[in-house]
Structure 1
């Protein structure tokens, strides 16, 4: 939501009511106003109940769901596309190099070159210090395995299960939402 905007019940909650006129009236009840100096605001179910009771006196309410609603307030910033592209590029390079170094260190720890040389010698009977055919097939297999594991290139699902990356992103978003809700609640008191 934008700063300094009136928050109505329809913006933060769902409602079931048998009377259509009453339904429309309740949905348009003003709950609060978004602050101009904060990025988020918490609206509790108690605030919502008070506003409904102020406007419609003899009402019976049954509450389902969360007891708090977190409103994210859009802060207008001037966007600098060049800076955003540069940040994205730099972070991508850092992540790529970090992943490459991690894989290289793993292969050095397990002495992958010697392992592949031994496999090549067992299969062909010839001793080769750097068996190119095995190194290439191993590298391609490593890349295909990572792509398949994270399931980001081919969006078609073989199973209806989420990928490990999707699970991590879901957990991250859930934890972030809980954190912002807690911080916003404690800072508003």
Structure 2
């Protein structure tokens, strides 16, 4: 009689706020017609502890090897990611209003200085003066009818570029900043996986004692 098929799809990332025992259903999605599905989902795979600090990488092949020993009558097939990265996030206190205000002022001033220095480097005022002269034939040191709409357009353009107004999104597309953060997170995950596997590639999953 052929073995029953069990399909495992490892969850790529998990975030927890405390140390606990990870069961198979916590780190993977299981698909099977076998009656042992509930038993498989509740099997303990790893006990998180202080020794793990804040990041643990659970390799799918070690999990399957562990499951094969307890369920020799089942055939496990892996679908999707090869590892699950578990992050333990300690609860943090809410930041001080004064610290948040100080950071906001610092970012605001820094951004304003950056924009002003950029406009000074490209001689934006002279550009506006030349545009005014080309359109009207008159010299004007401060063509406000150009500068004021340009200033509003600059702010609106930044809002549209980052696709956010506080917590409100203008559309479902990710902003360039979100894409960069995602790419950074992908690189960080790949580094963690490589480092953890290089150090612990022979360690089997630990069951709780």
The aligned residue for residue 66 of structure 1 is: 81
1:23 lines up with 2:37 in the alignment: yes
- Cα distance per residue 1:98-150 (max 9 Å; x no partner): 22222111111121112212222222233211122221111111111221222
The 8 Å contact of residues 29 and 51 in structure 1, kept in 2 or not, is answered as: no
CA distance in 1, matches of 2:17, 2:139: 70
The 8 Å contact of residues 40 and 184 in structure 1, kept in 2 or not, is answered as: no
The match for 1:141 among 153, 161, 164 is 153
CA distance in 2, matches of 1:173, 1:109: 34
- Cα distance per residue 1:13-38 (max 9 Å; x no partner): 1111112x300011111111002231
Q: How does 1:1-16 map to 2 (within 5 A)?
A: 1-16=16-31
The aligned residue for residue 156 of structure 1 is: 170
The match for 2:119 among 88, 107, 110 is 107
The 8 Å contact of residues 60 and 82 in structure 2, kept in 1 or not, is answered as: yes
Query: Which of the pair has the greater relative contact order for Cα pairs under 8 Å at 6+ separation?
Result: 2
- Considering fraction of residues, name the structure with more strand: 2
CA distance in 1, matches of 2:69, 2:84: 20
The match for 1:180 among 180, 183, 192 is 192
- Considering fraction of residues, name the structure with more helix: 1
Please give the root-mean-square deviation of Cα atoms over the aligned residues, in Å. 2.3
Unaligned runs of 5+ in 2: 1-15, 202-209
TM-score (norm 2): 0.76
The 8 Å contact of residues 29 and 55 in structure 1, kept in 2 or not, is answered as: no
Aligned residues: 183
Query: Does the residue aligned with 2:78 lie in a helix, a strand or coil?
Result: coil
Shift of the 73–88 alpha-carbon distance from structure 1 to 2, 3 Å rule, reads: same
Structure 1 segments (4+ residues) deviating >6 Å: none
CA distance in 2, matches of 1:43, 1:173: 18
